[in-house]
Amino acid sequence: MSKVFAVNAGSSSLKFKLFQLPEEKVLTDGVVERIGLEEGICTIRVDGEKISTHLPIKDHQQAVDLLLKALIKYKIVEKLEEIDACGHRVLHGGEKYSDSAIVTSEVLQDILDMKDLGPLHMPANYTGIEAFSKALPNVKHVAVYDTSFHLTMEKSTFLYALPLEYYEKYHVRRYGFHGTSHKYIAQTYTEIVGDKNKNIISLHLGNGASLCAIKNGKCINTSMGFTPLAGIMMGGRSGDIDPSIIPYLMEKTGLSAEDIIEVCNKKSGFLGISGVSSDARDIQKAVDEGNPRAILAREMYALRVIDYIGSYFVQLGSLDALVFTAGLGENDVKVRSEICELLKESLGVKLDEKLNVTTKGKRGKISAEDSKVEVWVIPTDEELMIARDTKRLLNL
């Protein structure tokens, strides 16, 4: 029996979940927020209830120390020596890491060296590992990369049609993200049907969103690209655009390239089209009220999603299942319905609307009996995947 942390460190936050393995029982979870600001918040779940503490939290080291003290205080563990390992989400593994890796000095240096590939996330990922390593010096750590699952793509798929030297010298290619989530979906669907030789499309639809074409358990294509900005439209992200739009808008608006990219990342997608919000729940409310821009945003979203489903269907050759996951995928009944309705004629996808409406935030098959393609909802669990990989690599 082992106790394993799954950790996701952001620039000003630290999410965590403590598992007891092999039972995969969650002992506690929570988040430390507003790190480095005047008032931080440390929230931890104790016996099913969230307990929050407000205080200044100057850095990630203090955040980790607070968390570990809370484990003792609330008797989640009797002593820190009970903790056997920590698994850490790391945004980028480049082309070097096709699997998770036990943290060594080389792994840590690679995270620093790859920071240009993920400047917003990689420094925070490094800091999180460093902070836990100092607080728990006798514990082994594992880096779980968001890009690893997608390294099975063929070169003809992951390359951009740019001069080849940009790939060879500067590593410009499609990497894809949400890999830990898509891997979880692939493994879980295989467990459900008892057959790994299936063709599925995993739809990770949250505020950030990506699709993944999975053949026999392996990724053959994914919608995000060199960065998480590519692919379908998202909460605040534009998804794919013509790159010539950037210099055009620079000339017309006087904004810099960095400013335009900021707009593409944070002021586009649902927010940019609807003018209402980046949150799909707010969009749905506006749709129900007849807001034309919100209605347009939802129509665009469904069309962008089926664009990818159609191309992946062709690349896969056949399709056994569509699997919805993440915030919208797991809970937004109407988004699922709108997407599947557009696939009814071309792919023979039919929902059982009663099952669709009653399947929110839980696992279930929601397709009709006569649907040519199965449709499933499978809640993702990236933290569990991190814990599983940590256990596997460390032979716990």
Structure confidence by residue, pLDDT tens digits, 133-167: 998 989 999 999 999 999 999 999 999 999 999 99
The fraction of the chain above a pLDDT of 90, given in percent, is: 78
Structure confidence by residue, pLDDT tens digits, 56-85: 888 888 888 889 999 999 999 999 899 999
Q: Is the pLDDT of residue 11 over 80?
A: no
| Interval 235-257 mean pLDDT | 95
The C-alpha atoms of residue 8 and residue 329 are separated, in whole angstroms, by 22
Q: Is the pLDDT of residue 176 over 80?
A: yes
Distance of CA 211 to the CA centre of its chain: 11
Residue 105's pLDDT is 93
- pTM to 2 decimals? 0.92
Residue 232's pLDDT is 97
3-state secondary structure string, the chain? CEEEEEEEECCCCEEEEEEEECCCEEEEEEEEECCCCCCEEEEEEECCEEEEEEECCCCHHHHHHHHHHHHHHCCCCCCHHHEEEEEEEECCCCCCCCCCEECCHHHHHHHHHCHHHCCCCHHHHHHHHHHHHHHCCCCEEEEEECCHHHHHCCHHHHCCCCCHHHHHHHCCCCCCCCHHHHHHHHHHHHHHHCCCCCEEEEEEECCCEEEEEEECCEEEEECCCCCCCCCCCCCCCCCCCCCCHHHHHHHHHCCCHHHHHHHHHHCCHHHHHHCCCCCHHHHHHHHHCCCHHHHHHHHHHHHHHHHHHHHHHHHHCCCCEEEEEHHHHHHCHHHHHHHHHHCHHHHCCCECHHHHHHCCCCCEECECCCCCCEEEECCCCHHHHHHHHHHHHHCC
**Quick one: tokens of 34?**
């507003």
CA angle 54, 56, 61 (to 5 degrees): 110
Structure confidence by residue, pLDDT tens digits, 357-370: 999 999 999 999 99
- Cross-strand pairs, 42: 32, 53
Q: What is the set of domains in the chain, with CATH numbers?
A: 2-145 (3.30.420.40), 179-382 (3.30.420.40)
The C-alpha atoms of residue 374 and residue 307 are separated, in whole angstroms, by 19
Residue 20's pLDDT is 94
Annotated active-site residue 288? The verdict is: no
Q: Is the bond leading into 379 cis (omega within 30 degrees of zero)?
A: no
Q: Which pLDDT band, with edges at 50, 70 and 90, does 340 fall under? A: very high
**Catalytic entry in 146, 332, 352, 389:** 146
Q: How many CB atoms lie within 10 A of CB 142?
A: 25
